[in-house]
Amino acid sequence: MFRFLSGFGSYWILLGKVFSRPEKPAIYYRQTMREFISLGLRSIGIVTIISFFMGAVITLQTAYNTENPIYPTYLIGLGARDSIILEFSSTIVALILAGKVGSNIASEIGTMRVTEQIDALEIMGVNSASYLILPKVVATVVFNPFLTLISIITGILGGWIVGTSAGVITSQDYVYGIQYAFIPYYITYALIKTVIFAFIITTVSAYQGYTVEGGSLEVGRASTRAVVYSSVMILLFNVILTQLLLS
Amino acid sequence: MIRAEHITKTFGGREVLKDITAVFEPGKTNLIIGKSGSGKTVFLKCIVGLVDIDEGEIWYNDVLFSNLDFRARKEIRKEMGMLFQGSALYDSMTVEENVRFPLDMFTRMSYEEKLDRVNFCLNRVDILNSNHLTPAELSGGMKKRVAIARAIALKPRYLFCDEPNSGLDPKTAIVIDELIREITEELNMTTIVNTHDMNSVMENGEKIIFIEEGEKCWEGNKNEILKSDCRLLNEFVFANALAKQLKDTSG
């Protein structure tokens, strides 16, 4: 319990250092652009592939589980759309990014810690926490909503292609289903969740990396902890945000 | 000048520094020597403020550094350069970017002026035509040289070196020692070097502090070290068979 509280306290102290005034905004801007590429653009591939196949599977499963003459077939499109927007593209993609981006951040910062690169920054008088973490937070918080939108579009497209190819739904029914009773607020809900999950992934993983002590073995452990803790926090906040935003 | 007064540091109930007092003079290469685990790296990290001290005071000229907060320390830190044991070059940057980094961060120089300064520093440490290499492409000795170039880019008043010769062959180690001594004299810096390399001690030891189990046991210079009657120091200095034989021969 003491360890948890101590860790929780030092996490907030670290955030205090992260969100202090940048020493040289131009350098931070350049770093942020690098992080957009490293953490954002380089995640498009995996998000697209996973979203396409998940959209396809959601459509097929909805079709096979609602095989009943009472249900109109366009409900398959509607079900796939809402599953993708409400849960898959925000929460599941965030869990996938916790694995990819979270471990990347923890191992990068952890390696810098054990090889004294962070000490070298501190010696120069650079606020290492802010210099290393703030650009990552900004990049993920700004870019991840785009990843979510890409995921929604690709997921729905995957459902359409595979659903119509497998013959479980006609193209007209699917398109009608994804337009039927559409609630635009669901997109807002998904994007709000994405922003908060992006913040959790980046700060929790950065904290794990920044506080590493020891050698390469510890960096590996920190990387694993980053993924586990980020994932648990995402699931916890998913419940909280769903209650707050949809009730 | 740097003064460390009555420095005490404890980790988990174990006292690693016990009431150490030392003065480090400008224009000189000041050495902290001692065997591995004696506390010299902790002492150096306390002096630069990377580790907080439990008791005592660290003075940089007439500024009580140990009482300053992070923001106030920044001003003095801009006057510090440090060479780390593993060089601590930034992996994601090229040689040029590594040396330019402190200039980017703390000066308003134009790109051309910064590039001139980078090239001057790299030439000073004999690194030529390597601006676009990454740290992974450099040898151990080259990494140390680049780290020295980065450390002197802002013309610091204080230079700290944590075991600058570790992992280097004897010849390269001597070159690095000479470089540190020359740069110290050129820039009239207060340089503190942590080492357990006796070649360094005999080359650079203008002022030497010997630490054993967290305590300062001896203070002097390279001429005095061989004549000392401090038993612990003698055990350290004459640890190898050749040195023992020489001491016995010379009486």
Query: A143 near A40, Cβ under 8 Å?
Result: yes
Q: How many angstroms separate the Cα of A71 from the Cα of each of A75, A76, A160, A172, A179?
A: 7, 9, 19, 16, 17
* Distance, CA of A63 to CA of A162 (rounded, Å): 11
What residue of B is the nearest CA neighbor of A25?
Answer: B105
Kindly report the number of other CB atoms within 10 A of residue B42's CB atom.
21
Determine the residue of chain A that is closest to B156 in CA distance: A124
Report the candidate in A244, A243, A8, A54 with the shortest Cα–Cα distance to residue A158. Answer: A54
pLDDT score of A203: 97
- Under 8 Å between Cβ of A90 and A197: yes
DSSP, collapsed to helix, strand or coil, labels residue A73 as: coil
What token pair was written down for A10?
């030092």
Q: Which residues of A touch B80 (CB under 8 A)?
A: 123-125
Compute the residue count for chain A. 247
Tell me how far apart the alpha carbons of residues B245 and B86 are, in angstroms, rounded to a whole number.
33
As averages over each run of 10 residues, the pLDDT of chain B (251 residues) reads 92 89 90 88 92 92 89 86 90 94 91 93 88 93 90 91 84 84 88 86 85 89 81 78 68 56
d(CA B88, CA A65): 58
Instruction: Please tell me the pTM assigned to this model.
Output: 0.87
- Give the chain B residue whose CA is nearest to the CA of A116: B88
Contact B88 A24 (CB under 8 A): no
- Domains of chain B as residue ranges with CATH: 1-79+158-172+192-251 (3.40.50.300)
From chain B, pick out residues whose CB is under 8 angstroms from the CB of A116: 84-86, 88
The residues, ordered by sequence, that sit 6+ positions from B121 with a Cβ below 8 Å of its Cβ are B99, B149, B150, B152, B153
Query: Domain map of chain A by residue range?
Result: 27-246
CA torsion through residues B58, B64, B65, B69, sign? positive
Give pLDDT, residue A183.
93
Please state the ipTM of this predicted complex.
0.85
Tens digits of per-residue pLDDT, A168-220? 999 999 999 999 999 999 999 999 999 999 999 999 999 999 999 988 899 99
Mutation for testing the B interface, residue in A21, A111, A119, A123 having most B CBs under 10 Å: A123
Contacts of A14 in chain B (CB under 8 A): none
CB neighbour list of residue B2: distance below 8 Å, 6 or more residues apart: B23, B24, B47, B58, B59, B60, B158, B190, B192
